[in-house]
């Protein structure tokens, strides 16, 4: 597109040079006006035709593989068969959680900037600088930030708190009257396993599974000291939050889309006439009540616009979630916030570059792309429909 624009500019300069002095000013204006109107129409038509061609191309090559089995089964046979159900669910959950986190925070920030903040204050300038900086940061940087902050810092701290609490509970169990360590301070692997199972088999399921390793290290029936047992379980505790997870990917994506929400909502708030605010205040309403009853409902179309843009970018962006939660292959559905998940965008990348037989997966690639587009359009059309209903109601009330 840049090359086409450069050619157009050069052509315009050449045409203006040859017409200089030979035509009247009014004729030159008409010619240049018609030329640029025609050029704008041609550019718009070119973009529309290209989008139509792209969508038709994807639809024609992917519709044959778009079946119920494809939509509701997991990938199999080395990603050369099966369906995309885990990726479909994972993408939907990611977009939903991301929107529930990012849109409210962005809306509150926009309300503060438009209604409360002083334009010349250091805090306001800092917030605007941060928003503008976030808008220009590459997507992959957000992924690295999510890996370092959410997983490496927040998740690790949460795991440390959970680990300390679990080890304190374990020490309480080993110090109880029913503990096999009560008499001699040592116990065999079988006694340790039985003690944990009798106490709470579901809570200590991880430690019960690790008794097998304990047996391999010390031998079956060998007495093991209580301090060594506790240290063994502590050293082999598996991370729960300090690993890629759905919640960390959603938070990273929320940060990525936050500037879009802030800008769109703030612009919508500023379009509301000041007279409406003044009328509400004159009737005795507080500023907070005025914002909640007058400003926010009037700017709801802007909130939904930011939601639409957030959904569009969140559904297709892959780079930020590479390090924070997405999985190469995971047939199980994410059932907790700390579960990993599959994503349609990343699944397309895997099919095109990492599959055992890329040519064999071409129908899957186009079908998955078609489903991703359909999911994005469905979410967007839902938001657009709600926005149009809100606008029509506002027009009737006015």
Give CA torsion, residues 369, 375, 376, 381, to 10 deg: 140
Is the pLDDT reported for residue 98 higher than 50?
yes
| Contact criterion met (CB below 8 Å) for 124 and 117 | yes
d(CA 307, CA 313): 10
DSSP assignment letter at 181? T
What is the domain partition of the chain in residue ranges?
A: 69-139+245-397, 152-235
Is the pLDDT reported for residue 63 higher than 90?
no
Model confidence at 222, pLDDT cuts 50, 70, 90, reads confident
d(CA 108, CA 40): 38
For residue 77, give the H/E element and its range: none
How do residues 148-160 score in pLDDT, each as one tens digit?
999 999 999 999 9
Percent of the chain whose pLDDT exceeds 90: 21
Looking at residue 146, what is its pLDDT?
A: 94
Which residue in 153, 155, 221, 230 sits closest to 191, CA to CA? Answer: 221
| Contact criterion met (CB below 8 Å) for 238 and 338 | no
Structure token digits, residue 226: 């209580």
| Contact criterion met (CB below 8 Å) for 323 and 140 | no
34-44 burial: b if 16+ Cβ within 10 Å, else e: eeeeeeeeeee
Percent of the chain whose pLDDT exceeds 70: 92
Q: 240: which residues sit within 8 A by CB, 6+ positions away?
A: 158, 159, 162, 338
Q: Treating both helix axes as pointing N-terminal to C-terminal, what angle do 344-353 and 362-397 enclose, rounded to 10 degrees?
A: 160
Choice between 35 and 176, residue whose per-residue pLDDT is larger: 176
pTM (two decimals) = 0.82
Give me the mean pLDDT over the 139-147 stretch.
93
Choice between 5 and 316, residue whose per-residue pLDDT is larger: 316
Looking at residue 10, what is its pLDDT?
A: 54
Give me the mean pLDDT over the 348-358 stretch.
81
As to burial, measured by CB atoms within 10 angstroms (0-12 exposed, 13-18 middle, 19+ buried), residue 58 is: middle
Please list the helix, strand and coil fractions of the chain in percent, rounded to the nearest 5, in that order.
Answer: 75, 5, 25
CATH number for the 69-139+245-397 domain, one of 1.10.1060.10, 2.40.50.100, 1.10.287.70, 1.10.3720.10? Answer: 1.10.3720.10
């Amino acid at each position: 597109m840049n090359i086409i624009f450069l050619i157009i500019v050069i052509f315009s300069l050449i045409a203006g040079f040859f017409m200089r002095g030979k035509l009247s000013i009014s004729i030159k204006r008409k010619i240049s006006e018609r030329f640029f109107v025609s050029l704008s129409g041609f550019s718009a038509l070119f973009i529309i035709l290209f989008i139509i061609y792209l969508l038709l191309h994807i639809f024609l090559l992917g519709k044959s593989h778009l079946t119920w089995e494809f939509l509701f089964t997991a990938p199999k046979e080395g990603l050369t068969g099966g369906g995309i159900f885990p990726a479909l669910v994972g993408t939907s959950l990611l977009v939903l959680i991301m929107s529930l986190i990012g849109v409210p925070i962005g809306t509150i920030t926009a309300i503060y900037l438009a209604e409360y903040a002083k334009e010349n204050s250091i805090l306001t300038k800092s917030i605007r600088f941060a928003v503008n900086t976030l808008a220009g940061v590459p997507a992959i940087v957000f992924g690295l930030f999510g890996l370092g902050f959410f997983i490496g810092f927040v998740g690790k701290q949460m795991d440390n708190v959970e680990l300390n609490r679990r080890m304190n509970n374990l020490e309480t169990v080993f110090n109880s009257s029913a503990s096999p360590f009560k008499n001699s301070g040592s116990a065999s692997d079988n006694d340790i396993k039985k003690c944990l199972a009798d106490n709470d088999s579901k809570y200590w399921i991880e430690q019960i599974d690790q008794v097998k390793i304990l047996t391999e290290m010390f031998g079956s029936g060998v007495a093991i000291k209580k301090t060594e047992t506790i240290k063994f379980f502590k050293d082999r505790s598996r991370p729960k939050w300090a690993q890629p997870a759905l919640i960390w990917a959603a938070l990273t994506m929320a940060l990525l889309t936050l500037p879009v929400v802030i800008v769109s909502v703030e612009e919508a708030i500023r379009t509301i006439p000041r007279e409406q605010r003044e009328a509400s205040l004159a009737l005795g309403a507080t500023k907070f009540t005025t914002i909640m009853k007058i400003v926010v409902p009037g700017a709801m179309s802007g909130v939904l616009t930011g939601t639409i843009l957030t959904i569009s970018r969140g559904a297709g962006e892959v780079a930020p979630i590479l390090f924070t939660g997405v999985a190469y292959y995971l047939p199980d559905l994410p059932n907790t916030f700390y579960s990993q998940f599959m994503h349609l965008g990343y699944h397309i990348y895997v099919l095109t570059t990492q599959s055992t037989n890329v040519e064999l997966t071409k129908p899957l690639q186009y079908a998955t792309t078609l489903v991703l587009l359909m999911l994005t359009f469905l979410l967007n059309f839902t938001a657009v429909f709600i926005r149009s209903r809100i606008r029509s109601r506002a027009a009737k009330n006015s």
